[in-house]
């Protein structure tokens, strides 16, 4: 950039219409056409177009009498959640004002809020964003009593099974493994066993189903009570060692499990709801015999509790248009936006009443089961250090075949404790 005064005086200056045309050309060259402010929404690349449509609806109806107070540009993030977080953390830590709206994984709330990277919602807007939401979804957007994002979409795992092989779905993990082993080669159970976030989700769900939790209520101390933790580890080890386990369990993620189930060689699968439309489109002969049930319990007398997922919409703390961004986030996550995300994108809503909506129920024939599971869903450990805690869990418990339920309780406590104290590189 030249120093002030180093630019020679222009030989001529356009006037009137010519100056207006020059200004328009400058806008075009800068990549920003004239008009209302553009809000950048960083979110995963949703393939159906539901997010684009929801954002456009809100932009067109914004302002007085729908004059359009803002526009929304979607900025796609990587498909992998870890890569999404990494990209956002780097930019937010640098105070990037380009980030107006964030499609936040539910596990990011404490970290982003504690770091000052997102804005808390004012009381009036928070009250509206809370209205009618499923409690667990709302809890995922809350930290230290404040709302930090609008609950938008949610999800959790169900048990999927072959109705032509199993008359009644199993109620417990031990019952499922016994039944799968009795079916021989066709009894394979598909689950997530790779060393990544899905393994942490698996453990947290088992632990909660057994009556335990990773951290105490304040999120600052290790909990991991002995008996529930041993029960969870016992099931993980038993599954890995069972003849019903897929040989590729140690490297399996959600999509590997989905594809394996669609080939027809498996009877059971633990996975998210996207597997239903996938099977109907890609393997209709499998979908014809595809049933769903609640995630298996650890103990018959205690219903299972499964971790919640989904996307909340937060407002970047360095946005140049925070008020407009809050309005846009509230609009995108409202009932119309959630209905669109559900019916077009297959993403379950966080507004409980939408599970009675005819269009939503057509998309999710298991809507009642899904809502019941979500009402009992649990959060992953609520701490700004969640990323380290998750890594500690997945690294300690991988591969599941090497888990020692008796000895690994203390090992797990030690590693999670180190993560909370930020000791060592995880």
Domains annotated for the chain, with CATH where assigned, are 36-155+309-375 (3.40.190.10), 158-307+385-420 (3.40.190.10)
Backbone angles phi and psi of 176, in degrees to 5: -65, -45
Instruction: Give 282-290 contacts, CB < 8 A, sequence gap 24+.
Output: 286/261, 286/262, 289/162, 289/163, 289/164, 289/165, 290/160, 290/161, 290/162, 290/163
The residue length of the chain stands at: 426
* pLDDT in the model for residue 17: 36
Contact in structure between 308 and 95 (CB atoms under 8 Å)? no
At 36-72, the pLDDT tens digits run 999 999 999 999 999 999 999 999 999 887 789 999 9
Whether 27 shows a pLDDT value over 70: the answer reads no
- pLDDT confidence tier of residue 7, bands split at 50, 70 and 90: very low
From CA 77, how far away is CA 71, in angstroms rounded?
19
Q: What percent of the chain has pLDDT over 90?
A: 89
Whether 20 shows a pLDDT value over 80: the answer reads no
Alpha helices in 242-316, H assignment, sequence order: 254-262, 275-282, 284-287
* pLDDT in the model for residue 32: 55
* pLDDT in the model for residue 424: 59
Q: To 10 degrees, what angle do helices 50-60 and 335-343 make?
A: 160
Whether 275 shows a pLDDT value over 60: the answer reads yes
From CA 76, how far away is CA 51, in angstroms rounded?
11
Beta strand extents in 101-248 (DSSP E only): 101-105, 142-143, 146-147, 150-155, 158-162, 188-190
* pLDDT in the model for residue 33: 59
Mean pLDDT score of the chain: 92
* pLDDT in the model for residue 23: 32
Whether 208 shows a pLDDT value over 60: the answer reads yes
Contact in structure between 369 and 160 (CB atoms under 8 Å)? no
* pLDDT in the model for residue 426: 44
Cα angle, residue 381 at apex, residues 375 and 384 outer, rounded to 5°: 125
At 333-379, the pLDDT tens digits run 999 999 999 999 999 999 999 999 999 999 999 999 999 999 999 99
CB atoms inside a 10 Å sphere around CB 256:
17
- pLDDT confidence tier of residue 311, bands split at 50, 70 and 90: very high
From CA 352, how far away is CA 151, in angstroms rounded?
12
Q: Minimal CA–CA distance to 50: which of 374, 332, 274?
A: 332
Whether 19 shows a pLDDT value over 90: the answer reads no
Q: What does the DSSP assignment read for 332-375?
A: HTSHHHHHHHHHTT---BSBGGGGG-HHHHHH-TTHHHHHHHHH
Cα angle, residue 273 at apex, residues 267 and 275 outer, rounded to 5°: 55
Dihedral over Cα of 375, 377, 383, 384: its sign: negative
Helix then strand then coil, in percent of the chain rounded to 5, is 45, 15, 35
From CA 87, how far away is CA 75, in angstroms rounded?
12
Least confident segment among 31-40, 82-91, 181-190, 415-424: 31-40
Least confident segment among 4-13, 68-77, 207-216, 311-320: 4-13
* pLDDT in the model for residue 67: 82
- pLDDT confidence tier of residue 261, bands split at 50, 70 and 90: very high
This prediction has a pTM of 0.91
* pLDDT in the model for residue 66: 76
Q: Minimal CA–CA distance to 137: which of 261, 368, 330, 312?
A: 312
At 130-145, the pLDDT tens digits run 999 999 999 999 999 9
Contact in structure between 54 and 341 (CB atoms under 8 Å)? yes
Q: How far is CA 76 from the centre of its chain?
A: 15
* pLDDT in the model for residue 9: 31
Cα angle, residue 375 at apex, residues 369 and 381 outer, rounded to 5°: 120
């Amino acid at each position: 950039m030249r120093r002030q005064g180093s630019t020679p005086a222009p030989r001529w200056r356009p006037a009137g219409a010519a100056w207006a045309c020059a200004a328009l050309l400058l806008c075009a060259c800068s990549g920003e056409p004239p008009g209302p402010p553009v809000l950048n929404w960083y979110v995963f690349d949703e393939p159906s177009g539901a997010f684009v449509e929801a954002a456009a609806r809100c932009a067109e109806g914004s302002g007085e009498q729908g004059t359009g107070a803002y526009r929304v540009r979607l900025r796609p993030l990587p498909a992998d959640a870890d890569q999404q977080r990494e990209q956002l953390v780097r930019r937010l830590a640098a105070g990037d004002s380009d980030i107006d709206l964030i499609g936040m994984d539910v596990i990011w709330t404490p970290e982003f809020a504690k770091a000052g990277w997102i804005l808390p919602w004012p009381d009036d807007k928070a009250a509206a964003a809370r209205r009618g939401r499923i409690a667990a979804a709302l809890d995922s957007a809350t930290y230290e009593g404040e709302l930090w994002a609008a609950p938008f979409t949610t999800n959790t795992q169900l048990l999927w099974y072959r109705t032509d092989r199993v008359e009644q779905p199993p109620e417990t993990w031990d019952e499922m493994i016994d039944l799968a082993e009795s079916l021989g080669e066709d009894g394979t159970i598909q689950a997530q066993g790779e060393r990544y976030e899905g393994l942490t989700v698996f453990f947290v769900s088992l632990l909660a189903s057994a009556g335990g939790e990773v951290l105490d209520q304040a999120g600052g101390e290790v909990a991991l009570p002995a008996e529930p933790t041993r029960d969870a580890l016992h099931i993980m080890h038993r599954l890995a060692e069972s003849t019903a386990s897929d040989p590729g369990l140690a490297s399996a993620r959600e999509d590997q499990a989905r594809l394996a189930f669609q080939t027809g060689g498996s009877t059971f699968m633990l996975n998210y709801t996207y597997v239903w439309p996938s099977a109907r489109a890609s393997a209709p002969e499998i979908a014809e015999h595809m049933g769903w049930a609640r995630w298996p319990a650890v103990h018959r007398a205690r219903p299972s509790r499964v971790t919640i997922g989904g996307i909340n919409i937060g407002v970047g703390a360095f946005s140049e248009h925070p008020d407009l961004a809050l309005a846009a986030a509230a609009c995108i996550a409202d009932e119309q936006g959630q209905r669109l995300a559900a019916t077009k994108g297959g993403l379950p809503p966080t507004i409980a009443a939408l599970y009675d909506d005819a269009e939503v129920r057509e998309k999710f024939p298991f809507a009642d089961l899904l809502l019941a599971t979500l009402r009992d869903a649990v959060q992953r450990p609520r701490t700004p250090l969640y990323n380290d805690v998750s890594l500690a869990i997945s690294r300690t418990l991988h591969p599941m075949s090497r888990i020692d339920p008796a000895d690994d309780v203390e090992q797990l406590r030690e590693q999670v404790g180190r993560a909370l104290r930020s000791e060592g590189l995880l």
